[in-house]
Amino acid sequence: MDRQQIGLKLTVDGLKLPFRIDTFEDRLILQKAVYLAQAKGVNLGYYYHWYLHGPYSPSLTRDEYAIGYERNQGIDDSEGWKLDDDSSERLKKLQNLIPKGERAHIRQKLELLASVHFLVNRRQVRQNDAREIAETLERFKKNFSEEEVQDALRELIDYGLLAA
């Protein structure tokens, strides 16, 4: 693993998520969780653009597969490494933003949160207009209600990912 991959593995561990890439759902959860960690200030250096399921980083996907391959070989180069204290604290604060329960529920929630944040952060929509955000998501074939968007905005603000 290179240093960025070690940082990725430690970030996923810090969020208390299993590092699973077996299914599309697993990979989507990791994409969105890492996106939100970076939005919180954990600097991993991944660049995101909009794709079918919201913000997506091809280089993150490559690193996920590289780490998965090494783990299948019994290799974990992240042992002995740790994140800086600020990053660790930020991840602890984000742990409660990630829902517990079925993977489908976790995926849907993280996709909503990351997508709303991405659109607001890139100034594609106005933060104070949940209807506009929901309509924009609908154009992207995302079926999130205005109420769900409003809840997501509230959580993003509460967790310090968007300004009040």
- Spell out the SS3 assignment of 91-147: HHHHHCCCCCCCHHHHHHHHHHHHHHHHHHHCCCCCCCCHHHHHHHHHHCCCCCCHH
Tally of domains in the chain: 1
Confidence (pLDDT) at 69: 93
**Cβ within 8 Å of residue 61, ≥6 positions away:** 27, 31
Residue 164 domain flag: no
- Over residues 84-97, mean pLDDT: 96
The reply to whether 163 falls in a domain is no
Query: What is the model's pLDDT at position 155?
Result: 97
Q: Considering the domain boundaries, does residue 54 fall inside one?
A: yes
What does DSSP assign to residue 47?
A: -
Could you tell me the two tokens for 70? 């090494």
Chain segment 92-144, per-residue pLDDT in tens: 999 999 998 899 999 999 999 999 999 999 999 999 999 999 999 999 999 99
pTM: 0.95
Give the per-residue pLDDT at 146: 97
> In the structure, what pLDDT confidence band is assigned to residue 81 with cuts at 50, 70 and 90?
very high
pLDDT tens-digit profile of 12-65? 999 999 999 999 999 999 999 999 999 999 999 999 999 989 999 999 999 999
Domain of 112 in residue numbering reads as 3-158
Residue 154 placed within a domain: yes
pLDDT score recorded for residue 85: 97
Task: Using alpha carbons, list the distances in angstroms from residue 1 to 5, 51, 150, 157.
Answer: 6, 27, 39, 34
Q: What is the pLDDT of residue 90?
A: 97
Domain membership flag for residue 12: yes
Tell me the percentage of the chain whose pLDDT exceeds 70.
100
Binned at pLDDT 50, 70 and 90, residue 9 comes out as: very high
The number of beta carbons lying within 10 Å of the beta carbon of residue 64 is: 23
> Does residue 107 form part of some domain?
yes
pLDDT, residue 5, reads 95
